Amino acid sequence: MRLSISHRIATPLTAAAAAAGLILLGLSPASADPGQTSNQGSSSNLIYKKSVVGGTAGATLKPGDTVTYKNEVIHNSGVERYVTRIRDIPPAGFVYESGSATGTGSGANIVQEADGSVLATCSSGCSFLGGGFVVKSGQNLTYTVTYKVPANAPVGIFNSGMFYDVWSFGSTQGFNPANVNVQVLPADVITNTTVSAPATANTGEQVNLTATVDPTAPGSVQFKDGTVNIGGPVTVANGTATLPHTFDTIGAHAITAVFTAGNGFVGSTSPAQTVNVVTATTTTLTVPATAVVGADVTIEATIAPATAPGQVQFKDGNVNIGDPVTVANGTASITRKFPEAKSHSITAHFVGTGGYNNSDSAAATLNVTDADFNTTTTVLEPVTATVGVPVNLAATVMPIPDAGQVEFTVDGVPVGTADVGTG
């Protein structure tokens, strides 16, 4: 749609006249189209044009978005013209952010008026007559203004306008409304995302990372370990997204969940949750089944993986056996004497460092008994014997044992046994 409109007003645009152009068309955003986003008219040998050049596609906006309008005064033919003032009329309530007016060799002063419009006047390189922007063949005036949609903007279609003054013209030119529209949609709903993960995890073991989005909203979650993505985005279902993950490096991992929202919602990022990742270990104990009082006994612990640094505390029941022993090449051992005969329950307790987890061995039983005495056995009688005549064989055992047996042999052939002490 093209318009050729000339507003000839003998006096400068008043605040009331400008405000008349701050138009909200009350159309339903569900079915409304913003309509045209550019329009133009002409006056004498000039074309004036306004268009939406910055904002989301289709000139649809939401509270907090920005939009930029471009106003142009274009030389069409004939003599050059001097634009002394150009004014952008924004939608009602839109908040001015910045503006720029450019013409060949010209600078500009830009101020917002009390009525909300934004006025530009020439500040350098201006015409001698009227002190305006020079518009001539190959040299047009372009004036852009950027606004922010306020947080409380109502939903609907917003119109806008523009005016400019030319030296030697007897009136203000332009159009208001210009039928250059933007559509404001409902504000997106703010979301809150939290992430849950175990406080500790073992390398090589799968754990679940879960993000919760409140309120429930469509979209996806990208889990991150620091700045590094963990896998790909996970679709949110019923307000949650879960990703099974296996850590392969030890240390503290800062896990976050970044929610990318679907239409009508604002994305959000969770606070970080730290997962301390360690490597699991196992401790195996080697202990002899028996030992005698006063003899050296070596107790050894084997740690897997063998690269795990740390120390082993050996215990007899709840009592420490010596001091902790540093692990070297996956093993730690201690040698000690037991002073009395009894049964002992031996365990080994590994305390890992450098991201390796602690582990305990199963208990092993060590039976300590008294040592055996050395004895001397002497045959006492008889010195002589007669073939076929029975004789008594006797022997002494020193020191005297509490019990035992003596086996008698003749020429290496066993002939009988007798209990010690039986006479």
pLDDT in tens, 200-231: 999 999 999 999 999 999 999 999 999 999 99
Rounded Cα distance between 110 and 56, Å, is: 25
Quote the tokens at residue 27.
């159309």
Stretch 25-45: mean pLDDT, rounded?
69
pTM of the predicted model as reported, rounded to 2 decimal places:
0.57
Domains of the chain (ranges, CATH numbers)? 15-184 (2.60.40.2260), 189-277 (2.60.40.10), 282-369 (2.60.40.10), 376-419 (no CATH)
Q: How many residues does the chain have?
A: 423
Q: Are 23 and 158 in contact (CB under 8 A)?
A: yes
Confidence (pLDDT) at 382: 75
Q: Is the pLDDT of residue 152 over 60?
A: yes
Rounded Cα distance between 308 and 401, Å, is: 52
Q: Is the pLDDT of residue 55 over 80?
A: no
| Residues in contact with 409: Cβ distance below 8 Å, sequence separation at least 6, in sequence order | 415
Stretch 61-71: mean pLDDT, rounded?
93
Task: Kindly report the backbone phi and psi dihedral angles of residue 180, in degrees, each rounded to the nearest multiple of 5, phi listed first.
Answer: -110, 105
Positions of E strands within 3-45: 24-25, 38-43
**Average predicted confidence (pLDDT) for the chain:** 88
Count Cα neighbours of 184 within 13 Å in the Cβ-side half-sphere.
26
Confidence (pLDDT) at 391: 82
Angle at 316 between CA 310 and CA 318, to 5 degrees: 85
Q: Are 351 and 308 in contact (CB under 8 A)?
A: no
For the chain, what is the radius of gyration of the CA atoms?
49
How many CB atoms neighbour CB 346 within 10 A? 21
